[in-house]
Amino acid sequence: MSKPRLRLRLRLLSLVSILYYVFLIITTTTDLVAALRCRPDQTETLKRFKNEFAFSSICSDDTNFFRGVTCDNVTGAITVLTLPGGCIRGTLRSNSSLFELSHLRYLNLSFNNFASSPFSSAFGQLNNLEVLLLSSNGFIGQVPSSIRNLTKLTQLKLSYNKLTGDLSPVVQNLTNLSAVDLSYNQFSGTIPSSLLTMPFLSYLDLSENHFTGSFEILDSSSKLEILLLGNNHFEVEIIDQILKLANLRYLSLSYLNTSYPIDLTLFSSLKSLSYLNLYGNSLTPTSVNSDIDFPNNMQTLLLSGCNISEFPIFLKSLKTLEYLDLSNNIIKGNVPDWLWSLPLLVSLNLRNNSFTGFEGSLDHVLADSLVQVLDMALNSFKGSLPNPPVSIINLSAWNNSFTGNIPLSVCNRTFLDVLDLSYNNFTGSIPPCLSNFTIVNLRKNKLEGNIPDEFYNGASTQTLDVGYNQLTGKLPRSLLNCSLLKFLSIDQNRIDDSFPFWLKALPNLKVLTLRSNRFNGPISPPHDQGPLAFPKLQILEISHNRFTGSLPINYFANWSATSLKINDEERLYMGDFTNDRFTYDDTLDLQYKGLYMEQGKIFTFYSAIDFSGNKLEGEIPESIGLLTTLIALNLSNNSFTGHIPMSFANVTELESLDLSGNKLSGEIPQELGRLSYLAYIDVSDNQLTGEIPQGTQIMGQPKSSFEGNPGLCGLPLQQSCLSEDAPSAQEPEEEEAILKWRAVLIGYGPGVLFGLVIGHVVALYKPDWFIKNYGQNRLRGIRQTN
């Protein structure tokens, strides 16, 4: 290439680079453009406001902070302020710089943490506000009367706080309101009639408060279209007054806690009504069995927990019905065949009734329906499972008495994502199309044969639970094609295989339970396979198999380096398959603190290891101390020897530790008594000696936790130590060992997390009566992280 051409090319490359960086600068500063239009004094005020609080790392720089700022093009005054949720933490004081921004028209501080701040009267100074959004901020106390100064308000949202008092002084003068949400607070007294009849109000949510009194609606010309009053404590009749709101389209009156039953026929007068929620109320039997002339545009009818004993006949005429919930009633007998012919019905919830079967031809009873979400769980259905609707998305039929084979027609349901047929009596083999589904739960049936080895590349499977069947063979190697797999439960079968080291290639696997099968061989990977390091595994349950061998000292050194936090990804439970119609949460049988529970929901922050009931030997690896957020560990009923590692002192989150039934010797490390969360410990039936540590947690254990160790002494055992008052000669040696181990920790890297599950018994998907031997040993609740 000639030199002139080379120079030309270099110049072009330089020009392209310059243009690229200019573009980069422009795109990264677009969020600051609004702020750059602001007057300097306004910007300075906003920065002073920012300095009043502690900010999370994602909000600490000005780019993120100013992203929600808009200034007037003419005056330069800040008119819009939206702070990202989760940024602010601290007390909002009445002299805050925020209240100097008097030109604000739109203020959104929702989903921040103002540390139980009172609702400041200084909000009344922002008298140009048109929209005020302060949900989920931790505000407490009464709303000050100065809020009445905000006469331009059109939207007011204060939900999910701890606000108290009467609403009457709050809403006076706010006649321009069109949308009000005060739900999930502690407001009490009477709902002001003036609020219900404001001239522009169309949306009002007062649910989840403590309202008790009656109200009277004098003006029937109200424009209110959406009204939510559920979960209050009304002591008097309110339905008659609500029926005066002729423009209502959406009405929620769930759990009114009234002593009188509700007459369904009354709602036929609301001709615009399309949504009606009466959850948890008693209905008059005569109205349920009547031909009700409901509005011809009724789309959603929610009658869960209404003590209904017969299938409502009036539903037959609701040709526009799309969503029907009859769950948690006492309806028995067969589901009528006319139900499936409702032309627009897409979601049907029949869960927790006493249904036994279906009317009509079994081959076509469901298949011709347009239903997409069908929940038949917790009933008494018998016989074969009918072919599901062609358009089905979620089929939940767990905890019934269905028999026979799982219909192969499920493989032809193109849109089916969730297939939950657990806790039935299905026999035969597993359908070969598991790859088609996101969630597969076939737990506790009588299925036989192999798990189909037909998972295709790119399969969408996230949950596969085939526990408690009679399955044989090996784990299908095609599971490696399921890169989205998070939950794999094969427990209580007859699988004969070696430890699946190859599963560590799955990048999202969080739960692996192989308990009570015929797995065998070592659980330490061969040298040519590299370290055992599952990227995201939180729960490893391999108890009651035939695993053998010992664990090297660095066995846990390469396990996950992530530390899960409570409500990971803003969720409470691990199961994260949700859409606008249903939620599925993974569940797991759990052995915890010496008890056994069936089907507990899995908290996102939980982590555990269970290697019990195998033939493992050698010493417990010191690298166990790297699992700093481990909550439960069970190594019982093996042949472990040597001392209890003093590195347990680093596992500060540990709640349950079971080392019983081994051949451990030496003393119990004093550091175990300092683990503040350790609520359960069992070291019985070993060869331990010396004095039992006298920490608060240890002293609360039963003596059975230490029996079977002839050399142990001290409380809670009856054997007293000969020289209780003499200082232990082992203490300097122990301290030195801990110091050495801390150096080892630094060598291996930062602490790691491995995972377990906790039973949450009152489940969205599994009932509280599934729990066995729960007693007084309630699982620890969510830890506050603030």
Note the pLDDT tens digit of each residue in 28-54: 333 444 445 789 999 999 989 988 887
pLDDT at 696: 67
My answer on whether 96 and 234 are in the same domain is: no
My answer on whether 470 and 550 are in the same domain is: yes
Higher pLDDT, 597 or 393: 393
In a domain, 346, yes or no: no
Cα(311)–Cα(288) distance, rounded to whole angstroms?
8
Taking a C-beta distance cutoff of 8 angstroms, is the pair 397, 423 a contact?
Answer: no
Task: Tell me the residue type at 470.
Answer: Q
pLDDT tens column, 201-215 = 999 999 999 998 888
Cα(591)–Cα(750) distance, rounded to whole angstroms?
29
pLDDT at 595: 65
My answer on whether 108 and 209 are in the same domain is: no
Q: Stretch 137-144: mean pLDDT, rounded?
A: 94
pLDDT at 588: 75
My answer on whether 655 and 563 are in the same domain is: yes
Report the Cα 688 to chain-centroid distance in Å.
41
Listed residue (278, 301, 288, 276) closest to 226, CA to CA: 276
For residue 389, CA distances in Å to 59, 365, 374, 434, 559 come to 48, 9, 9, 18, 44
My answer on whether 111 and 147 are in the same domain is: no
Taking a C-beta distance cutoff of 8 angstroms, is the pair 417, 393 a contact?
Answer: yes
Confidence of residue 562 (pLDDT cuts 50, 70, 90): very low
Residue owning tokens 């990977």 = 525
Taking a C-beta distance cutoff of 8 angstroms, is the pair 465, 514 a contact?
Answer: no
pLDDT for 563 beyond 70: no
In a domain, 673, yes or no: yes
In a domain, 618, yes or no: yes
pLDDT at 201: 95
pLDDT for 21 beyond 80: no
My answer on whether 109 and 148 are in the same domain is: no
In a domain, 275, yes or no: no
pLDDT tens column, 183-196 = 999 999 999 888 88
Domain that holds residue 62: 34-115
In a domain, 318, yes or no: no
Which 3 state secondary structure label does DSSP give 496? coil
Q: Stretch 424-443: mean pLDDT, rounded?
A: 96
How many structural domains is the chain composed of? 3
Cα(460)–Cα(300) distance, rounded to whole angstroms?
31
Tokens encoding 106: 């739109």
pLDDT tens column, 67-90 = 889 999 999 999 999 987 877 888
pLDDT at 117: 92
Residue owning tokens 């009596």 = 425
Name the least confident of 109-113, 231-235, 521-525, 745-749: 745-749
pLDDT at 574: 62
Q: Stretch 85-109: mean pLDDT, rounded?
A: 91
Tokens encoding 162: 């701890």
In a domain, 272, yes or no: no
Continuous segment of H or E residues that includes residue 40: helix 40-50
Confidence of residue 598 (pLDDT cuts 50, 70, 90): low
pLDDT at 700: 79
pLDDT for 114 beyond 80: yes
Confidence of residue 171 (pLDDT cuts 50, 70, 90): confident
In a domain, 442, yes or no: no
Tell me the range of 1-15, 396-410, 664-678 where mean pLDDT is highest.
396-410
Looking at the DSSP assignment, which residues form a beta bridge with residue 441?
A: 420, 465
Residue owning tokens 């969503």 = 323
My answer on whether 95 and 182 are in the same domain is: no
pLDDT for 581 beyond 50: yes
Tokens encoding 772: 């066995």
Looking at the DSSP assignment, which residues form a beta bridge with residue 691?
A: 713
pLDDT tens column, 564-577 = 444 444 455 666 56
Tell me the range of 260-264, 310-314, 730-734 where mean pLDDT is highest.
310-314
Q: Is 41 exposed, middle or buried (0-12, 13-18, 19+ CB in 10 A)?
A: exposed
pLDDT at 25: 35
pLDDT at 19: 38
Residue owning tokens 């008119």 = 79
- Beta-strand ranges (E) seen in 620-753 are 632-634, 639-642, 656-658, 663-666, 680-682, 687-691, 711-713
Among 232, 260, 288, give the residue marking a domain's end: 260
Cα(118)–Cα(121) distance, rounded to whole angstroms?
9
My answer on whether 70 and 200 are in the same domain is: no
The CATH number of whichever domain residue 248 belongs to comes to: 3.80.10.10
My answer on whether 110 and 166 are in the same domain is: no
Please provide the average confidence, as pLDDT, over all residues in the chain.
83
Report the Cα 677 to chain-centroid distance in Å.
23
pLDDT for 493 beyond 90: yes
pLDDT at 215: 84
My answer on whether 543 and 685 are in the same domain is: yes
Continuous segment of H or E residues that includes residue 743: helix 731-748
For residue 642, CA distances in Å to 7, 170, 571, 617, 693 come to 73, 69, 41, 10, 18
Q: Stretch 465-475: mean pLDDT, rounded?
A: 97
My answer on whether 83 and 190 are in the same domain is: no
In a domain, 85, yes or no: yes
> Which positions ≥6 away from 624 have C-beta within 8 Å?
556, 633, 645, 647, 648, 651
> Which positions ≥6 away from 764 have C-beta within 8 Å?
583, 585, 601
Higher pLDDT, 57 or 296: 296
- Beta-strand ranges (E) seen in 266-376 are 275-277, 300-302, 323-325, 332-335, 347-349, 354-358, 373-375
Tokens encoding 240: 């008659």
Name the least confident of 455-459, 572-576, 696-700: 572-576
Among 245, 260, 275, give the residue marking a domain's end: 260
pLDDT for 627 beyond 80: yes
Among 100, 115, 130, give the residue marking a domain's end: 115
pLDDT for 417 beyond 80: yes
Q: Stretch 269-285: mean pLDDT, rounded?
A: 94
My answer on whether 71 and 164 are in the same domain is: no
Cα(322)–Cα(371) distance, rounded to whole angstroms?
9
CA atoms within 13 A on the CB side of 112: 21
pLDDT tens column, 716-771 = 887 888 654 444 434 444 444 443 444 344 333 333 333 333 333 233 333 333 22
